Structure 1
Amino acid sequence: MTKLLLSVHVLAAILAIGPITVAASMFPRYVKPPPEGATAIGTDERDPRTAAFLHRICRGYTVVGIAVPAFGLATGLQMGVLTDAWLLISVVLTALAAALLLMAILPGQERLLGEPAEAGSGAATRSAAVRLAMVTGIFNLLWATVVVLMIVRPGSTTGV
């Protein structure tokens, strides 16, 4: 049963968290206007339809992503490691990543999608997109840290 739970946990992480990290990382590029004075062909990557699509991916996979900690806790319970430090740290980092996603990334994307593309708003939109990219980077670093903790598992008996 442990192997099944662990397999579902890992697959859910790959299939749910992976698309969120990629779509959230790509979003700022498609929502922000080009720098002032950029006139060369191909420099304007702002595409509201692509940005909206990336936001829908983030929102949709957030719901599916609930399976990751659910199966992770079930696996930890089955393995008897719920009180191990590496798992507790992973749970805290996962909660921080979820909070960033729900309270900063998704609302930030919605705000940027709702901003009109009128003249004069380019600098503010660019600034908000840069801040969103930074928060998304922190979100991705939290997940990368959780993955490393899950693989290394300090104090594990795997001999690694």
Structure 2
Amino acid sequence: MTAVLLSVHVLAAIVFVGPVTVATSMFPRYARAALAGEGSAAPVTLLHRISRVYAVLAIAVPVFGLGTAVAMGVLGDAWLIASLVLTAAAAALLGLRILPAQAEVVAALGGESDSRAPVTARRLSMTSGVFALLWAVVVVLMIVRPGSTTGV
């Protein structure tokens, strides 16, 4: 059972977290170009939709991760707790900062005037970089598992 849970957890991370991370990192570039009149709004809208949809689907990652942790008996290990905290931070950043900022830019491109949209698009570069960095640290913690007797 542990192997199945771990397999689904890893597959969900690759299939769901990967695309949302790529979409959020690509969004600022296309948003700045579209806001400057040098590009189309279509890629910006598509990247926002990908970010939203895959953010919801990515909920499967911590769900199956917790199931795996329970099955492995590592729920109280420091590396897992740190990973959970970083995952929660990444989810909060995505849900409270990135997706609303993307929606603001998409609305501005749709004709709803918002003079803050170019500033928002520039800030999204840093925010999406922090989001990707959080996930990178979680991946390293999942592989190395510092302090674990099963770690490398």
TM-score (ref. length: structure 2): 0.91
Paired residue for 2:80, among 68, 79, 87? 87
Q: Any gaps of 5 or more consecutive residues in structure 1?
A: 37-42
Let me know the Cα RMSD of the aligned residues: 2.2
Partner of 1:10: 10
Partners of 1:59 and 1:159 in 2: how far apart? Answer: 34
C-alpha deviation, 1:70, in angstroms: 0.1
1:152 corresponds to 2:144: yes
C-alpha deviation, 1:31, in angstroms: 1.1
Distance 1:117 1:110, change over 3 A: closer
Paired residue for 2:41, among 39, 48, 52? 48
**Could you tell me which amino acid in structure 1 is paired with residue 101 of structure 2?**
G
The runs of at least 4 aligned residues of structure 1 exceeding 6 Å deviation read none
Paired residue for 2:91, among 98, 102, 108? 98
Partners of 2:107 and 2:34 in 1: how far apart? Answer: 18
The answer as to whether partners of 2:35 and 2:109 remain within 8 angstroms in 1 is no
C-alpha deviation, 1:125, in angstroms: 3.3
- The CA deviation string for residues 5-54 of structure 1, in whole angstroms up to 9 with x for no partner, is 00000000000000000011001111114898xxxxxx92x321110001
Q: Percent identity?
A: 57
Higher radius of gyration, 1 or 2: 1
Q: Any gaps of 5 or more consecutive residues in structure 2?
A: none
Higher helix proportion? 2
Corresponding residue pairs, total: 151
Partners of 2:151 and 2:45 in 1: how far apart? Answer: 46
Partner of 1:40: none
Partner of 1:137: 129
